[in-house]
Amino acid sequence: MKDSASGSPSAVSDADHSARIAALVAFIDWAEREAADLDAPDCGVCLQLARMALSRRRDNA
């Protein structure tokens, strides 16, 4: 994996990257539930956009 800013190899291994993505997915799931509990549909929309961006990022990794 390369650092996008410098083009040099990143200090983050593929396993670390996968773990970070999994943690982010878990956070998004939690945040969506919290937004729904608060009846905050706008938050849900933002979180769905974040999920779509994350999905694209995983597909391109």
Write the single-letter amino acid at 14. D
> For 2-27, what is the mean pLDDT?
73
pTM over the 0.85 mark: no
Residue 48 reports pLDDT greater than 70: yes
Question: Tokens 């773990």 sit at which residue?
Answer: 19
For residue 11, what are its two tokens? 């200090």
Which residue has better confidence, 9 or 25?
A: 25
- Mean pLDDT, the chain, as a whole number? 77
Task: Supply the Cα-derived Rg of the chain in whole angstroms.
Answer: 14
10 and 33 in contact (C-beta within 8 Å)?
no
Query: Tell me, what's the pLDDT at 1?
Result: 46
